[in-house]
Amino acid sequence: MPKLEPYSRKLPYSYQLGVFPALMLLEARPECAARLLLHPQGLENEGVIKLREICAKLGVREELAERVLRRESKKDNCFAGLVFNKYDCALDPSLNHAVLCQISDAGNAGTAMRSLLGFGVKDVAVVKPCVDVFDPHVLRASMGAFFKLRVKVYENFDDYRAEFPDRPLYPFMLDASKPLNEVARAARPPFSLVFGNEAAGLPPVFATYGQSVRIPQSDEIDSLNLAVAVSVGTYTFMNGEWEMGNGK
Amino acid sequence: MPKLEPYSRKLPYSYQLGVFPALMLLEARPECAARLLLHPQGLENEGVIKLREICAKLGVREELAERVLRRESKKDNCFAGLVFNKYDCALDPSLNHAVLCQISDAGNAGTAMRSLLGFGVKDVAVVKPCVDVFDPHVLRASMGAFFKLRVKVYENFDDYRAEFPDRPLYPFMLDASKPLNEVARAARPPFSLVFGNEAAGLPPVFATYGQSVRIPQSDEIDSLNLAVAVSVGTYTFMNGEWEMGNGK
């Protein structure tokens, strides 16, 4: 039984901590679950009982691992967690995408993913250098949404463009000429919404890749939080489509 | 010269850490600045030079305080910070408000405030129990926006309603009957957008206080992040008004 290492982006596995998010992982990606970690004080917990039932059916080994749970969650009362194998996804070419370029903050990445799932964009390209998408902080902020998305990491933006050469790109830029609502009204799916990183946004060359988009905002702020920009942009572009059964 | 205590919500003062946010504090609330804290290695920094000039003009005392900066920022390279006196604000009865009920996460509170300023809502009611709005984590997430807002803390929601009895209230609720875009189109300012806390949202009684609002979202997520909900809701209700010079 190999020893579980502290989380690192170099490892082939990661940790999904917490009872509810672990249940979401089992629902969405049962084939990735590797080991169920249990806290001796959580065995009566209803969610833990359910986790153990599902893992038993899947043949996922369980073990008491209070120390590992405490180390990875930095909490004393984390009742359960799953060790899972990192995996690859392909993006669906027929659906809308979000492209997160060089996103560096794990909380922003996870919160953006939660919104993307909520607003019906299930295909997410993440362009390096970026946070490890399997970082437990990303998973935690995504509230389990990560496992219901198709997330693919690209070495650079050109690789993404080469794979999907024919779709309209909408780069979000502070100095774009057209405001969000106007561009969103004219957009025809499948499209890609492209966002830059927290500090610098997208480089000017992105304005030549497609119709750039500005989220109208007061000049009293420098910019919006990145997860907020992704959410407002996606909400406006999708405009309720996720309620009409168009999601896959 | 009194000793500077570690930040606590009980203290009459707090800390604004970082060069750029400290400059924003001096611009927006110069009368609250109490002491300028300097790191010996940051004295050549352009922003620090500007901070020192403004503080000299204002008569704000400066001091080398590497230890306090490190303690409060938990970083070694925080070049400057301001000690400032907490202050009270009154909300403008003629303008739109956001009401954050029992918000508990400092990052959400600050990120929501950044968006509110960006989308032209400068009057923010915060209903207890809640995070200390002067908590350095709130200020940091707000990226300086906090000081440009009028933030008032209320003991309970009834106190807020009693002070502003005549305006329409729009409580954001997961089970509201009407979707965001429809309600926002019909809204007439000045109105109040009301948001519940991270875990539980607003109690059902809020649906009787005004027209409740639902942000359309896939049933694959339980809810949106609170700062995201505030941002998407406010963006849609304000619909570009902040670009037409209507902000105060």
Answer whether residue B60 shows pLDDT above 80.
yes
The answer to whether residues A131 and A153 touch, using CB atoms and an 8 Å cutoff, is no
Specify the pLDDT at position B98: 98
Answer whether residue A243 shows pLDDT above 70.
no
Which candidate, A33, A32, A39, A44, places its Cα nearest to that of A18?
A: A39
Q: Which residue of chain A is at minimal alpha-carbon distance from B223? A: A118
Specify the pLDDT at position B246: 41
Answer whether residue B245 shows pLDDT above 50.
no
Over residues A35-74, the pLDDT tens digits come to 999 999 999 999 999 999 999 999 999 999 999 999 999 9
Specify the pLDDT at position B240: 60
Specify the pLDDT at position B242: 52
Answer whether residue A183 shows pLDDT above 50.
yes
Specify the pLDDT at position B68: 96
Mean pLDDT computed over every residue of chain B? 94
Q: Smallest CA–CA separation between A119 and chain B, in Å?
A: 6
Which candidate, B21, B139, B15, places its Cα nearest to that of B72?
A: B15
Chain A contact set for B117 (CB, 8 A)? 218, 220-221
Q: Which residue of chain B is at minimal alpha-carbon distance from A110? A: B225
Chain B contact set for A111 (CB, 8 A)? 225, 227-228
In chain A, alpha helices (H): 19-28, 46-58, 66-73, 106-118, 136-142, 157-163, 180-186, 226-238
In angstroms, the CA B69 to CA B191 distance is 41
Answer whether residue A248 shows pLDDT above 70.
no
Using 50, 70 and 90 to split pLDDT, how confident is the model at A217?
A: very high
Answer whether residue A240 shows pLDDT above 90.
no
Q: What percentage of chain A has pLDDT greater than the value 70?
A: 96
CATH numbers and ranges of domains, chain A:
13-85 (3.30.1330.30), 97-242 (3.40.1280.10)
Q: What percentage of chain B has pLDDT greater than the value 90?
A: 91
| CA dist A71 → A4, A23, A39, A78, B123 (Å) | 11, 21, 12, 10, 42
Q: What is the mean pLDDT of residues A186-196?
A: 95
Over residues A65-117, the pLDDT tens digits come to 999 999 999 999 999 999 999 999 999 999 999 999 999 999 999 999 999 99
| CA dist A57 → A27, A35, A54, A62, A108 (Å) | 13, 13, 5, 12, 35
Specify the pLDDT at position B239: 81
Q: Which residue of chain A is at minimal alpha-carbon distance from B107? A: A107
Query: Does residue B129 have a cis peptide bond before it, meaning omega lies within 30 degrees of 0?
Result: yes
Answer whether residue B140 shows pLDDT above 60.
yes
Answer whether residue B202 shows pLDDT above 80.
yes
Chain A contact set for B248 (CB, 8 A)? none
Using 50, 70 and 90 to split pLDDT, how confident is the model at A242?
A: low
Specify the pLDDT at position B49: 97
Scan for tokens 């032209």, then name that residue: B120
Mean pLDDT computed over every residue of chain A? 94
Q: List the structure tokens of B73.
A: 């920022």
- Report which secondary-structure segment, H or E, holds B72: helix B66-73
Lowest pLDDT segment from A52-56, B61-65, B240-244: B240-244
In angstroms, the CA A145 to CA A115 distance is 9
| CA dist B212 → A24, B28, B184, B196, B197 (Å) | 30, 34, 11, 12, 16
Closest partner residue to B221 among A118, A232, A239, by Cβ? Answer: A118
Over residues B211-239, the pLDDT tens digits come to 999 999 999 999 999 999 999 999 999 98
In angstroms, the CA B100 to CA B143 distance is 18
Contact across the interface for B218 and A143, Cβ inside 8 Å: no
Contact across the interface for B227 and A228, Cβ inside 8 Å: yes
Answer whether residue B2 shows pLDDT above 90.
no
